[in-house]
Amino acid sequence: MEARKIAEECEKLFYDLEFTAVREWKARTGGRVVGYLPTYVPREVIHAAGALSVGLFGGGDKLEIIKGDAFYQSYICHMPRSTLELGLSGRLDFLDVLLSPSLCDVVRNLSGVWQLQFPNIKTKYIDMPQNFDQKVGGRFFISVMKELAELLESLGCRPVTNELLRESIVLYNENRRLVDALYDYRAEAPHNVPTAELYVVLRASLIQPVEESNRTLAGYLAAVKNRSFRPLDNVRVVVVGSFCEQPPLNLIKTLEKSGCYIVDDDFIQIARWFRRPIAVDGDAYSAVSEAFLSASRPSSSIFEGDKPKSEDLVQRIRDRKAEGVIFAAPSFCDPALLDLPFYQEALDRLGISYTQFQFSENTGQFQTIKEQTGTFSDSIKLWSEA
Amino acid sequence: MSNQSAVKDVVKDESMLIQKKMLDGWYKEIGRAREGGKPVVYSFVPGNLTEFILSFDCVAVLPEINALHSGMKKMSDGFILEAERRGHSEDVCTYVKCDLGMFLGGNLGPYGKIPPPDLLLLSYTGCFTFLKWFEALKKLYNCPVVMVHTPYQDQGVITPDMVDYLVGQFKSDLIPALEKISGKKFDIDRLRSLLQESRRAEEDLVYCFESAKNIPSPIDGFFAGVYYVGPIFTAFRGTPECTEYYRAARREIEYRVANKLGPMTPAGTMEKEKFRLVIDGTPNWTDFRDFWKVFYEEGAVFVASTYTKVGGLYDTGFRHDPDQPLKTMAEYCLNVYTNNSLPVRTKLMENYIRDYHADGFVFHSIKSCNSFSAGMLAMLRELEQRTGLPGCFIESDLVDSRYFSYANIKNRVESYLQMVEQKKGDRGAV
Ligand code: SF4
Ligand code: SF4
């Protein structure tokens, strides 16, 4: 299928706030559905239990907030209110479990709000280990994953055996390999992989069963490689800070229209969480945990230890031959905003250009951002010509 | 002077004097730490590991407490602006910005020059921002960090895996790091004896808080409560002075109960207790007195508060257990208020309202603090349903005076209390 067609199908899934595809899956299989909030949960365990994992990354710009605002003060980001709105309006009534990863206090407390509002939907907090010793943090993380498996089993899912978990790891390794390949190809030929397209393909992968997602990603990868769009005189940028609440699709389009090729980003971190495949020999839980401890890409939600995250950003800029960085953090997002000055300091030291703005998932006006990033890309072009 | 008031003044003075002496001594010790060769450990209040720090003869510096005092001494606004000038967003926690701004100004804090840390002990309990805060400090001070990750109690239970995880971190990371900076071997018996002392103080602290079940309440469990938790939440848990302080505070309160005295306020003893309230959220520090005044002027007393449980939920039964030193430290970290889920917090508030015979409850939402504030409105709705009482919602900030509006808060509280009065009247009529 043509890349554009695949992206259109994915866009439909992404914009479908009724989650029709998930409902159909549930009706067809009678299986359990596990929703998860950004950023990371061990989807392999959910899959091994025979349940479907569904990424809930907010309500986007098409959702009208009717009840959700009454639960959150104005100085809290938008993501929890739209997530709650989805729940309160019955759009998530197919959920059996909601997982909240340890990303920030808003997500953490959202799991509590959820417990109060929807006592019939089980919740579980996925405490990502901040101790990176396999015998300490690793052991704890294995216990968290096993609790998740037990919870699913208590809901009628099949027990997670080593064999089943390994099979799921293989599928998710393939999923991440395909996403990495797409990111690599986008960096190589950004004119052939518009980020607004790639983004919806990734959003669809949060909803589709992994087997289907692998087919979609593989199809899209093959299709974009067949393209030969004309390269534009755009500047290559890395977009940083939008790992939880997501920018509206039109914002991504705006960045691209303002003369930027996005060659790296952290929009859907879970899709490329690991730097390498998870091992498929030995104990499968240990393998997931070991990968988490030693091969996670830096994230605002993980303690950075002795290696500042800014070093990773600089490396990404170099690897992707980027010319600048756009810091696009959701308003009121503590994890993103607290990282920002330190990233900026590192870039200042190296003379790397950047610009910064904040957004909300339902931002509707892009003119100012377009002017800002347009000026930013023009100035980079000017300097590189000089 | 009558005998009674003479006793009262002596007893009151005693606890306050002890606390003042303790704090002065602590600040001096911090100031002298460098020349005295004592290692300096920065850490946090929730889930603090004070007995560990003291057992290695290190000095604890608590950046949250520095920020709080900076707020009370009107220094925080300047620090925050300095941090914002250096690129920190207006929208993030002002405790962090206050601390970073203080560093940028040469680390001249509310009680003098603060030495740099030899160790950042990131007791990561109940607040995600702690992690970001010490990531920032690590860059500024370029010193080692020990991350002690406390799992979150999302289902309201402490599992053996959580305890094992913490104990594992004590053994593999914390103890070796403290041994390294102090040059001392870990002495478990020393830790035990500190824990024994902690336990004594904890008993008396709980008495102090539970005294508010009396009518009239002899204390304000929030505004005065923050003074009562001072020693045990900061650098003193496990010391004999701490035990002595709580003994004295208890005697003072026992006296007030016996004489049916209401709580002390900045305007003297509250003569007529009109409203008994429970509060969730932190105080505002920049305008602490004005904030208090909004309530005491109306005859409203806080009989229970959750903020005074961020350094430990002792009133639900926890005590440090010297017989199991590592396990008890782990359980302590796990059980602080903000490390509990919203349903558990809601239940705690509900119990307070019932057990302390409250007429209403207040949520003080803090712009800075998602750990407390994100989800408060859901708790408020739930509590209104469960108790049939109306709740009050007010907003400001911890140490950024730009977000404190006396008039707004006063208006809102006044109308709220009118509603409570009306409800009380209705109930009386029934
Ligand atoms: S957008 Fe930021 S603050 Fe809001 S829930 Fe996500 S990580 Fe937390
Ligand atoms: S977010 Fe709240 S708990 Fe965390 S550091 Fe700030 S004020 Fe303290």
What are the tens digits of pLDDT across the range B94-132?
999 999 999 999 999 998 999 999 999 999 999 999 999
**pTM, rounded to two decimals:** 0.96
The kind and range of the H/E element at A113 are: helix A105-117
CA A374 to chain centre: 26
How many CA atoms does the CB half-sphere of B34 hold within 13 Å?
Answer: 6
B contact residues 230-269, partner A, Cβ 8 Å cutoff: none
Question: Does the Cβ of A101 fall within 6 Å of ligand 1?
Answer: no
Best interface-test mutation with A: which of B341, B368, B384, B400 has the largest number of A CBs within 10 A?
B341
Cβ distance A143 to B161 less than 8 Å, yes or no, reads yes
SS3 A205: helix
What is the overall mean pLDDT for chain B? 94
pLDDT band at B425 (very low <50, low <70, confident <90, very high): confident
Q: Which residue has the tokens 């704090």?
A: B23
ipTM (interface predicted TM):
0.96
Residue B86, pLDDT above cutoff 60 = yes
Give the residue-averaged pLDDT of B191-202. Answer: 98
Cβ distance B147 to A303 less than 8 Å, yes or no, reads yes
CA-CA distance, B61 to B67, in Å (whole number)? 11
pLDDT tens digits for range B259-302? 999 999 999 999 999 999 999 999 999 999 999 999 999 999 99
Which residues from chain B sit within 8 angstroms of residue A110, using beta carbons? 374-375
* Burial per residue of B409-430, b for 16 or more beta-carbon CB atoms within 10 angstroms, e otherwise: bbebbeebbeebeeeeeeeeee
Is residue B43 a contact partner of residue B143, using CB atoms and an 8 Å limit? Answer: no
Which residue of A lies nearest to B85 if distances are taken between CA atoms? A341
Cβ distance B164 to A341 less than 8 Å, yes or no, reads no
CA-CA distance, A213 to A8, in Å (whole number)? 15
pLDDT at B429: 52
Q: What is the CATH number of domain A20-163?
A: 3.40.50.11890
Domains of chain A by residue range: 20-163
Is residue A162 a contact partner of residue A142, using CB atoms and an 8 Å limit? Answer: no
pLDDT at B426: 76
Give the residue-averaged pLDDT of B305-332. Answer: 97
SS3 B315: helix
Give the residue-averaged pLDDT of B47-64. Answer: 97
pLDDT at A382: 87
Sheet containing A260-265, strands listed edge to edge, beginning at the edge strand earlier in sequence: A260-265, A235-240, A324-330, A353-359
Domains of chain B by residue range: 14-429
**Per-residue confidence of chain A (386 residues) as pLDDT tens digits?**
899 999 999 999 999 999 999 999 999 999 999 999 999 999 999 999 999 999 999 999 999 999 999 999 999 999 999 999 999 999 999 999 999 999 999 999 999 999 999 999 999 999 999 999 999 999 999 999 999 999 999 999 999 999 999 999 999 999 999 999 999 999 999 999 999 999 999 999 999 999 999 999 999 999 999 999 999 999 999 999 999 999 999 999 999 999 999 999 999 999 999 999 999 999 999 999 999 999 999 999 999 988 899 999 999 999 999 999 999 999 999 999 999 999 999 999 999 999 999 999 999 999 999 999 999 999 999 887 66
Sequential DSSP letters for A277-325: PPP-SS-HHHHHHHHHHHHBPP-TTS--TTS-HHHHHHHHHHHTT--EE
Pocket test for ligand 1, best of A73, A102, A104, A240 (most atoms within 8 A of CB): A104
pLDDT at B424: 82
Closest chain B C-alpha to A349 CA, distance in angstroms:
15
Closest chain B C-alpha to A341 CA, distance in angstroms:
6
pLDDT at B14: 87
Token readout for B257 is 């109960």
CA-CA distance, A50 to A168, in Å (whole number)? 10
B contact residues 384-413, partner A, Cβ 8 Å cutoff: 395
Best interface-test mutation with A: which of B84, B92, B326 has the largest number of A CBs within 10 A?
B92
Give the nearest ligand 2 atom to B130 CA. Answer: 5
Residue of the CA atom closest to atom 3 of ligand 1: A333
Q: Which ligand has its closest atom nearest to the C-alpha of B281?
A: 2
Q: Which ligand has its closest atom nearest to the C-alpha of A75?
A: 1
B contact residues 133-152, partner A, Cβ 8 Å cutoff: 133, 135-136, 139, 145, 147, 149, 151-152
Residue B430, pLDDT above cutoff 90 = no
Cβ distance B136 to A130 less than 8 Å, yes or no, reads no
Pairing mode of beta strands B264-265, B268-269: antiparallel
Is residue B119 a contact partner of residue B96, using CB atoms and an 8 Å limit? Answer: no
What stretches of B282-363 show up as alpha helix (H) in DSSP?
288-296, 325-334, 342-355
Residue of the CA atom closest to atom 6 of ligand 1: A244
Specify the DSSP class assigned to residue A17: T
Specify the DSSP class assigned to residue A74: T
Question: Does the Cβ of B369 fall within 6 Å of ligand 2?
Answer: yes
pLDDT band at B1 (very low <50, low <70, confident <90, very high): very low
CA-CA distance, B19 to A359, in Å (whole number)? 47
The kind and range of the H/E element at A359 are: strand A353-359
CA-CA distance, B278 to B289, in Å (whole number)? 18
Which residues from chain B sit within 8 angstroms of residue A124, using beta carbons? 154-155
Q: Out of B89, B124, B379, name the one closest to residue A340 (CB).
A: B89
Which residue of A lies nearest to B395 if distances are taken between CA atoms? A73
Whether chain B has a CB inside 8 Å of the CB on A72: the answer is: yes
Whether chain B has a CB inside 8 Å of the CB on A115: the answer is: yes
What share of chain B has pLDDT > 70, as a percent?
96
What share of chain B has pLDDT > 90, as a percent?
93
